[in-house]
Amino acid sequence: MSEARTRAFALRDSFVDAGAQVVDPPVLQSADLLLDLYGEDIRARAYVTSDAMRGEQMLRPDFTVPVVRMHMAHGADPARYTYAGEVFRRQEDDPDRASEYLQVGYEVFDGSDPAAADAEVFSLIFQTVAPLGLRAATGDIGILMAAVEGLKTTERRKAALRRHIWRPRRFRALLDRFGGRTAIPESRAKLLAGEVGTDAPLTGLRSQSEIDARLAALVEDAAQPPISGAEMECLDALLAVRETLPFALSHLHDLSIDLPAIKVAVGRVDARAEALSARGVDIDRLEFEASYGRTLMEYYDGFVFGFYAESRPDLPPVATGGRYDALTRRLGKGVEIPAVGAVLRPDLMTLLEGAS
């Protein structure tokens, strides 16, 4: 057995000692489900196959979705789970990164005290990786979600921004367009003005009525006033927050005066800070970044965190985690069980330990 695999099972056993139940989801997962959850973007990051009986299947890109499905179907609240096994990710943009690697996780389903559950998961991972001297980064996707929800603009624009929160460049481009900071491209302006026509036959899957409806929606959106300059400045300030947790909280409380929609989300960060401190985490040195986690898995909708080896910036995070309440609601068909979890890379832990 490899050293990384031995470590993986040792980590899993330590999580059992912390109160978790061992689970072992199948390697093959329904591609339809994952595509529904993440959109077609997941195809570029996962290995997809098919058979006549089960249709499209996907080698599991991580464990969280199958664990949530299992819990929503059979589990009782509260519950804690742990697992160890391979996950599979295509790495076409970075061929030096592994496309198959071990992942060990710890997941908590408990709605009684979300802040305490967040602190439990973070502190457990923090203690596990402490010998490696990693840098911890934290954030909260829920704050940006709340800020978008509170904008004084159309529901269509807010939906577009929500959809692209996990794609920072696209989100920024949309925000600048909706805020009137960027001009409409000449080709789009001509299209909206009805100055573009063609006799070419239809191709693709969209019907003419669908194309017409989409064009009408674009024309309607272009006629809407831009997001106000004051709201844009507040969003810019929010996205720029990157400080130690106490200073970040002070800044967030100031911003909530002009962005009242974020007050509840900021209150959750306050409660989590107290819970982390109660578990011995030095929050005065803990980094908080309002934009952190926006390139992680798209099911995170609250607390997010990661641990990084500063001496090896070429490596992916050694551990990541976060809260995914909305995922349980989607898979539970409206029934939500607050949940938070984290995963570790035992191969990276072994690599870093060997280099020290």
Going along the chain from its start, the domains and CATH numbers come out as: 1-133+337-356 (3.30.930.10), 154-196+207-227 (no CATH)
Sign of CA dihedral 330, 146, 161, 343: negative
- How many Å apart are CA 296 and CA 185, to the nearest integer? 31
- Look at 33 and 202; give whichever has higher pLDDT: 33
How does residue 260 score in pLDDT terms, banded at 50, 70 and 90?
A: very high
Q: How many CB atoms lie within 10 A of CB 196?
A: 12
**CA separation (Å) from 250 to 41, 145, 263?**
37, 19, 12
- Percent of the chain scored above 70 by pLDDT? 84
In whole numbers, what is the pLDDT of the chain averaged over residues? 87
204: left (phi over 0), alpha (psi -120 to 50) or beta: left
The residue whose two tokens read 């001496």 is: 311
- How many Å apart are CA 68 and CA 243, to the nearest integer? 33
Smallest Cα–Cα separation from 276: which of 121, 135, 106, 131?
121
What does the pLDDT look like over 282-326, one tens digit per residue?
999 999 999 998 887 678 899 999 999 999 999 999 999 999 998
Q: Please give the average per-residue pLDDT across 18-38, as a whole number.
A: 84
pLDDT of residue 197 exceeding 70, the answer is no
Structure tokens of 196?
């573009």
How does residue 203 score in pLDDT terms, banded at 50, 70 and 90?
A: low
DSSP string across 56-123: EEEE-S-SHHHHHHHHHHH--SSEEEEEEEEEE---TT-TTS-SEEEEEEEEEE--S-HHHHHHHHHH
Query: Which residues have CB under 8 Å from 232's CB, separation 6+?
Result: 175, 179, 181
DSSP string across 26-59: -SEEEHHHHHHHH-GGGGGGS-EEEETTTEEEEE
Query: For 279-345, where are the alpha helices, taking DSSP H only?
Result: 325-331
Query: What is the per-residue pLDDT for 100?
Result: 86
Query: What is the per-residue pLDDT for 327?
Result: 86
Taking a C-beta distance cutoff of 8 angstroms, is the pair 339, 324 a contact?
yes
pLDDT of residue 202 exceeding 60, the answer is no
What does the pLDDT look like over 125-145, one tens digit per residue?
999 999 999 999 999 999 999
What does the pLDDT look like over 204-257, one tens digit per residue?
556 667 665 666 666 566 667 999 999 999 999 999 999 999 999 999 999 999
Query: What is the per-residue pLDDT for 213?
Result: 66
What does the pLDDT look like over 95-113, one tens digit per residue?
677 788 999 999 999 999 9
Cα–chain center distance at 218: 28
Taking a C-beta distance cutoff of 8 angstroms, is the pair 6, 353 a contact?
no
Q: Please give the average per-residue pLDDT across 250-276, as a whole number.
A: 97
